[in-house]
Amino acid sequence: MNSSPTPEQQAAIEHLGNAVVTARPGSGKTFTLVRMIAQEASDLLSYQGIIAISYTNKASDELEERCDSFGIDRASSFFGTIDKFCISEIISPFISHISGRSADFEIVENGDCAEWSQLAKRPLNDNDVRAFLHESLLSGSIPISAIGPMTLYILDTVPQARIYVSSKYTSVFIDEYQDCGLCQHLIFKRLVSYGLRGVVVGDIDQAIFRFADKSPDHLIELIKKGRISSFQINKESSL
């Protein structure tokens, strides 16, 4: 971790606003991401943290280790997958605001819920979809692929959830954004709309989960939008 950033990496690290960082394999993507997190973490108050989303638990563990070795205080921050964030930071704390009871619930296999199988492809603002999500919160049984839609539903309907996220977290970092699904993309944009700084990292040419409704199109959308600064990293840092 004693490498010096390249000029490309340094430009991304020093940028304090919303950012899209595209990085080729071997270009020091994690190196840059860790230093961007460190830059943000250095100015946090004791109760504040950052959200760091990785695609897999293994990748999240690696990012945590790299941050620890760099001396970043992760006490108030979240590191994990998007599903883990949705469950631990949104669904679990705020399900009772809708159900009116304790936060007990279970995540069930999609195949165990025929109704959701018929609704899953519909728009999230579909009345039947929203009714299903509401009933799922009341029953405490949530299909796996409804975790993202459920999170958006809670953010839409529970003001305390929005207040909590915007008060506790200053920024959201998402790695491997080329494999981002629609709900994760919408959650990212929703968090940014609450005032969190948004940073995504990805490689358009490395998308591998198209079969699972993942697509680099969401990464491309952010780049083309124009309101988020874009940085490209092509060269590994030097020792």
- Domain boundaries along the sequence of the chain: 7-82+163-233, 96-157
Strands 229-233 and 19-23: parallel
> In the prediction, which pLDDT does 239 show?
40
Beta-bridged to residue 233, according to DSSP, are 23
> In the prediction, which pLDDT does 214 show?
62
CA distance 6 to 28: 9
State the fold for domain 7-82+163-233: Rossmann fold (3.40.50)
10-residue mean pLDDT series, the chain (239 residues): 82 94 88 94 91 95 93 92 97 92 86 91 94 94 96 97 97 94 95 97 70 73 84 71
> In the prediction, which pLDDT does 1 show?
46
